[in-house]
Amino acid sequence: MVKLRLRRMGANDQPFYRIVAIDSRVSRDGKYIESIGWYDPKPNPSKIQIEKDRALYWLGVGAQPSDTVRSLLRKAGILQIRHEQKIESRKAAENTQEVRNEGTD
C-alpha cells in the first residue's frame, strides 16, 4: 500500500521534512516513489509547499496520507479540492442514472 508521509531531512535541531509517496513497508527515511512537497516547521508560521496536482493524483489512486500529512493537506486546501471532486463525480453519476431511468419509461 502506498502512503503519503513525512521523510525527515535537515541537521540536528533543524528538522525539515519532505512529503513523499512511499510504500508502507519502507522505513521513514527509506527509498520513496515520489516527492510531492516539503514542510518546514521551524519558522513561525511554518512553511508548507505541496504540488497539488501530484497530491491529488496519489490520493486518486488510493494512497493513504498519515495523520500529519492529512493535516498539512487540509491546511493547503488540497483535501477540500479532493472532496469537491468526489461530490461532482457523484452528481454526474446520479444525473446519468436519472437519464437512463427516464429513457426506459
pLDDT tens digits for 45-103? 889 999 989 998 998 888 899 999 999 988 888 877 766 666 777 777 777 777 777 76
Least confident of 6-15, 28-37, 52-61, 86-95: 86-95
**Which structural domains are found in the chain, ordered by start?**
2-104 (3.30.1320.10)
User: In what order do the strands lie in the sheet containing 64-65?
Assistant: 47-50, 34-40, 16-23, 2-9, 64-65
Q: Name the grid cell of 69.
A: 500529512
Do the Cβ atoms of 25 and 46 come closer than 8 Å?
no
Cα–Cα distance, 83 to 44 (Å, whole number): 29
pTM above 0.75, yes or no: no
- Give the N- to C-terminal CA distance of the chain in Å, as an integer: 45
Model pLDDT, residue 103:
64
